[in-house]
């Protein structure tokens, strides 16, 4: 694996790069502490299957420089620019949690940059049940190691996955500028007049695959059933014994879906 420095419009970040062949772009979620390392264990298996796997720190996360804008549209455009910097025209896009929105945005608005897409545990892309998606609370303080461990244990099915090394990494990326960016993200309010992406999935011109953990928070199974009913042609998997970080709880199933999508 090579750790690269990528600069887009003067804003530098870190990319983990392994393998050769058609590109699989792996994008982490938006929780405090997330980084490209959330996909680190997936790089070698994807590379072994004949692909070039790239995971990038989003602006405001990991080792990325402090961004001027913390919005989802800015971060999506930054990823497109990072692909340009790396001379990559198209990729199979994989997005975990909030990053699934980039996958769908690319399929809808920049399909020429995508071969296929894989969405992992993005709740906002499922039809809602009852009240709308809850707002993200503005963080009040940098987390302690105990709070970081408690958070990580709440988002996996297998708590043994939460090692001291994982807690240390999340701690490292939860302080300083990363924490300040988290406050800015949570303080922003998205435009209320935009049509939700889950209502537009049938418009996508690239094949999309969806993976959800049955043990994630909220009525996931019910919402997956609604999505399957509304979009019978979409591939939507529901993994048992699996929390919000499906790539950690059920790596074989997630990797299988990614590799199959990249081979299309």
> What does the domain layout of the chain look like in residue ranges?
2-263
In the predicted structure, residue 191 carries a pLDDT above the cut 70 = no
The strand pair at 114-120 and 208-213 is best described as: parallel
Other beta carbons within 10 Å of 173: 22
Rounded CA-CA distance 67/74 in Å is 9
Residues across the chain? 264
pLDDT at 189 over 80: no
Which tens digits make up the pLDDT trace of 146-170? 999 999 999 999 999 999 999 999 9
Alpha helices by DSSP H, listed for the chain, are 40-48, 72-85, 100-109, 145-154, 164-172, 177-187, 220-230, 246-249, 251-263
Pairing of strands 23-27, 91-96: parallel
Q: What is the mean pLDDT of residues 169-189?
A: 94
Q: b/e for 129-149, b at 16 or more Cβ within 10 A?
A: eeeeeeeeeebeebbeeeebb
Alpha helices in 69-163 (DSSP H): 72-85, 100-109, 145-154
DSSP code string of 140-156: -SPPPHHHHHHHHHHS-
* CATH architecture of structural domain 2-263: 3-Layer(aba) Sandwich (3.40)
Q: How far is CA 144 from the centre of its chain?
A: 24
pLDDT digits (tens, 9 = 90+) for 227-261: 999 999 999 999 999 999 999 999 999 999 999 99
> What are 100-144's pLDDT values in tens digits?
999 999 999 999 999 999 999 999 999 999 765 555 688 999 999
Residue 190 has a CB neighbour count (10 Å cut-off) of 10
């Amino acid at each position: 694996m090579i750790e690269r420095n990528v600069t887009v419009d003067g804003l530098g970040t870190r990319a983990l790069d392994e393998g050769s062949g058609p590109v699989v772009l792996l994008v982490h979620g938006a929780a405090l502490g997330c980084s490209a390392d959330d996909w680190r264990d997936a790089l070698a298996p994807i590379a072994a299957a004949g692909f070039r796997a790239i995971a990038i720190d989003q602006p405001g996360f990991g080792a990325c420089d402090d961004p001027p804008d913390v919005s989802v549209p800015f971060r999506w455009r930054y990823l497109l620019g990072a692909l340009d910097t790396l001379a990559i025209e198209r990729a199979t896009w994989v997005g975990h949690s909030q990053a699934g929105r980039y996958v769908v945005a690319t399929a809808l608005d920049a399909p020429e940059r995508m071969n296929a897409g894989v969405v992992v545990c993005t709740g906002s892309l499922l039809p809602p049940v009852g009240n709308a998606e809850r707002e993200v609370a503005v963080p009040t303080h940098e987390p302690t190691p105990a709070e970081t461990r408690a958070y990580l244990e709440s988002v996996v099915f297998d708590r043994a996955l939460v090692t001291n090394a994982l807690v240390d990494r999340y701690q490292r990326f939860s302080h300083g500028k990363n924490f300040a960016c988290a406050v800015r993200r949570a303080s922003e309010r998205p435009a209320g007049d935009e049509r939700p992406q889950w209502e537009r999935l049938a418009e996508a011109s690239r094949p999309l695959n969806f993976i959800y953990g049955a043990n994630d928070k909220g009525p996931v199974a019910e919402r997956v059933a609604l999505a399957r009913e509304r979009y019978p042609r979409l591939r939507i998997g529901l993994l048992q014994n699996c929390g919000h970080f499906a790539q950690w709880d059920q790596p074989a199933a997630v990797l299988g879906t990614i590799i199959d999508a990249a081979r299309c």
